[in-house]
Amino acid sequence: MLEWNLSALFKSEEKLESFTCESVRQAEEFRQKYEKKIAHLNKEEFLISLKNYENLNENVAKIMTYAYLCFAKNTSNGDFYARYEEKCKKIEENLLFFELEFCELETLKSSEFVEFCESYAFYLNRLLKNKKFNLSQKEERVLLYLSNTGASAFSRLFDESMSALRINFEGKKLSEEEILSKLYHNDRRVRKKAAKNFTKALKQNASLLSFILNMIKTELKNICHLRGYENAEMPRHLSNQISQKSVDALILSAEKSYHLVEDFYLIKKQILGFKKLKDYDRYAPLGKEANFSFEKSKEIILKAFRNFSPEFESIAKEAFENGWIDVYPKENKQGGAFSHSATSAAHPFVLLNYTNQRRDLFTLAHELGHSIHQKLSYKVSFLNQNTPLTTAETASVFAEMLVFDYVKDKLKNEELIALYAAKIEDIFATLYRQISFTCFERRVHKEENELKKEQIDAIWMEESAKMFGKSVKLTKNYASWWSYIPHFVHSPFYCYAYSYAQLLVLALYGLYKSGKCENFKELYIEMLSRGGSVSPKELIGVFGFDVEDENFWQFGICEIEKLLKEFKIKALKC
């Protein structure tokens, strides 16, 4: 089965509509029963109310998952998606009072509730910790209703516009995913032409894409002002349960090791025999680029996962067999890839745009890593499942490492060079490129006024150049390539979470391979199973790592240095 089976959520749109109407009714009853009464509940009654609140929130997640997946599969279904957004706003409006009232309780009362509701303690304490950023219920209601016409609306406009984008290439009209896959072609002429034609398509939409980014920036600025956040990054750090100091340390560590990127691409330029390595050459294969059919990737991933854990293999097998994955590009299908957690009443859903490239093998492994994490986290309750981005990306990157190790053990030396180069480039894309993205966002969001496209282009080029140093020549065409990055629109300051996860995984994977932690697999699966029920610091602490230690990131950097050294040795042998 190569497409989603959404019946795991709802058998039909009629069932969806009936469930939604019933959820609206239940939410209205909940509000009538508990609004302005939380302070008068005893601890047993509060736990009952909390579980009812959780169930209603899970209902919203189930409804919106179905609506969003219909939209992602065909972005012309925007009206359908918007209709259920509006219906769910009615549910959310009736639930709005609950967390606000809890945060306004006297300390003694809230502490009593937290102590009694032991399995929800981390969730409740986080509400209390961040309550200073809450607005009044009336103000929160206004923001709730305006959300569909603010950043959410611009995100939808971005998705619809990019999904509809068609790029002319050698007599065909290609999607974003299809044209970007040409950058991995072994013919330089093909790569150059693909980059040029993609740039042309981006420039034709430049005004729209610049306006969208400016509106995202402006809304975030306004929200920060209203809620009292210190800067545009702060809400993301709070959501990620990570300190500004830790993020700054991560970025500084990465920037200090940018020379590893430069070293690698200087070697690659030498191997390819180019006088200049240009931006469209970054992913040029060294040797023959292997193709991986979806069936071949499925076989590799299941074997790689089995070698680590039968439970990993079992969940991935279920994903392949039971309609969790929508595999191939289609007209109006959303670009990129994701794994949507959905709810424990169903299962995760994976979106791919599979084009039979080597990178598609690792993208599939990445998203299945997310799915395994999401499925395991169903073991905790819905309010505890929400994993911070910083640890949410850990399972996905770890899954890629499992597949890399499996594949490399079965290749000859000349084939290994291509694989090592591709893996190092993947790490650079996950770590250094995302740091570059974050530094780009920092500069964009610090600007008080709207930015012209030329200003955004200049910031993008300056931050990109820092990463590559003297190794890669950035062409004028590359200046527009910030405009297709979805995270800048959907989730400002998301990108450093990839970098965090990459270095964390390299440290964890180094520990796993060393054999120094005898029960590593059990600890790792337990970590994933706990979802967001404890802090990232506590989750990682069981392995002996302190994520707040500024020197922690060096563990991951050292693993990259080892990989780069192995690559150089293998390259010299050829």
For the chain, percent of residues with pLDDT exceeding 90: 81
Q: How far is 52 from 381, CA to CA, in rounded Å?
A: 12
DSSP H or E stretch at residue 428:
helix 413-430
Q: In degrees to the nearest 10, what's the CA dihedral of 550, 551, 555, 560?
A: 80
Record the tokens describing residue 76, joined without a space.
């012309």
Q: How far is 126 from 10, CA to CA, in rounded Å?
A: 33
C-alpha distances in angstroms, 144 versus 19, 85, 93, 452?
A: 22, 11, 7, 30
- Three-class DSSP labels, 349-360: EEECCCCCEHHH
Query: Is residue 187 scored above 70 in pLDDT?
Result: yes
- Predicted local distance difference test score (pLDDT) of residue 490: 95
- List, in order, residues 6 or more apart from 55 with CB less than 8 Å away: 382
Is-contact 92 144, C-beta < 8 A?
yes
Label residue 363 by pLDDT band (50, 70, 90).
very high
Query: Is residue 246 scored above 90 in pLDDT?
Result: no
Q: How far apart are the first and last CA of the chain?
A: 42
Query: Is residue 415 scored above 90 in pLDDT?
Result: no
Q: How far is 352 from 253, CA to CA, in rounded Å?
A: 32
Label residue 289 by pLDDT band (50, 70, 90).
low
Q: How far is 371 from 314, CA to CA, in rounded Å?
A: 12
Beta bridge partners of 168: 173
DSSP H or E stretch at residue 338:
strand 338-340
Query: Is residue 214 scored above 80 in pLDDT?
Result: yes
Q: What is the DSSP string of 48-70?
A: HHHHHHHHHHHHHHHHHHHHHHH
Count each helix (H run) and each strand (E run) in the chain, helices first.
Answer: 26, 5
Q: What's the mean pLDDT in 370-380?
A: 97
Q: What is the pTM for the complete model shown? A: 0.86
Query: Is residue 300 classed as helix, strand or coil in its secondary structure?
Result: helix
Residue of 328, 558, 292, 303 lying closest to 418 (CA atoms): 292
Q: How far is 99 from 129, CA to CA, in rounded Å?
A: 12
Strands 325-326 and 349-351: parallel
- List, in order, residues 6 or more apart from 449 with CB less than 8 Å away: none
Is-contact 147 223, C-beta < 8 A?
no
Instruction: Compute the mean pLDDT over every residue in the chain, rounded to the nearest whole number.
Output: 94
Query: Is residue 232 scored above 90 in pLDDT?
Result: yes
Length of the chain in terms of residues written: 574
Label residue 243 by pLDDT band (50, 70, 90).
confident
- Predicted local distance difference test score (pLDDT) of residue 90: 95
Strands 349-351 and 338-340: antiparallel
Q: In degrees to the nearest 10, what's the CA dihedral of 53, 54, 59, 62?
A: 150
Residue with tokens 């390819």: 272
Is-contact 131 140, C-beta < 8 A?
no
Q: How far is 1 from 507, CA to CA, in rounded Å?
A: 36
* Helix-strand-coil split of the chain, %, nearest 5: 70, 5, 25
pLDDT tens digits, 268-279: 999 999 999 999
Q: What's the mean pLDDT in 482-490?
A: 96
- Predicted local distance difference test score (pLDDT) of residue 291: 81
Query: Is residue 412 scored above 80 in pLDDT?
Result: no
Q: How far is 503 from 273, CA to CA, in rounded Å?
A: 31
Q: How far is 4 from 322, CA to CA, in rounded Å?
A: 8
* Residue 182 DSSP one-character state: G
- Predicted local distance difference test score (pLDDT) of residue 564: 93
- Predicted local distance difference test score (pLDDT) of residue 319: 97
Q: What's the mean pLDDT in 101-130?
A: 96
pLDDT tens digits, 433-485: 999 999 999 999 999 999 999 999 999 999 999 999 999 999 999 999 999 99
A 10 A CB-CB count for 55 gives: 14
C-alpha distances in angstroms, 64 versus 140, 233, 382, 392?
A: 20, 26, 15, 20
- Predicted local distance difference test score (pLDDT) of residue 574: 60
DSSP H or E stretch at residue 181:
helix 176-181
- List, in order, residues 6 or more apart from 513 with CB less than 8 Å away: none
Is-contact 324 350, C-beta < 8 A?
yes
Higher model confidence: residue 246 or residue 91?
A: 91
Three-point CA angle 285, 286, 290, nearest 5°: 60
Q: Which amino acid is at 193?
A: K
Range name among 235-244, 329-338, 485-494, 546-555 with the lowest pLDDT average: 546-555
Query: Is residue 404 scored above 80 in pLDDT?
Result: yes
Q: What's the mean pLDDT in 521-538?
A: 93
- Predicted local distance difference test score (pLDDT) of residue 418: 85
Q: Which amino acid is at 80?
A: F
Q: How far is 543 from 508, CA to CA, in rounded Å?
A: 8
Q: Which amino acid is at 414?
A: E
Q: How far is 215 from 153, CA to CA, in rounded Å?
A: 10
C-alpha distances in angstroms, 265 versus 277, 323, 403, 473, 503?
A: 8, 40, 24, 11, 20
pLDDT tens digits, 295-326: 999 999 999 999 999 999 999 999 999 999 99
Query: Is residue 165 scored above 80 in pLDDT?
Result: yes
